[in-house]
Amino acid sequence: MRYVLYQRDYCHLCDQALAVMAEARAPDFDSVWVDDDEALEVRYGTRVPVLRDQQDGRELDWPFDATAVRQFLAGTTPPL
């Protein structure tokens, strides 16, 4: 999959991110739980949820809304 959503177990923000992804009508994406991998825990532990484009390496950190997700998927930078 091109897109990956990095998450944690029992993460209410991750649940919210999933709802935002659905609202944005995001294409299929993989979910990766950082709790299962020490290197991912170090990289994403305090940042999750994070949406990553595996093709170009861009990342969208929480908080994000449906507009930011659509812009990210289109390859444009969301506003701050």
Express each pLDDT in 23-77 by its tens digit: 999 999 999 999 989 999 999 989 999 999 999 999 999 999 999 999 999 998 6
CA distance 3 to 54: 6
* pLDDT value of residue 53: 98
**CB-based burial, 5-14: b 16+ in 10 Å, e otherwise:** bbbbeebeeb
**Eight-class DSSP state of 59:** E
52 touches 29 (CB < 8 A): no
Residue linked to tokens 């949406």: 51
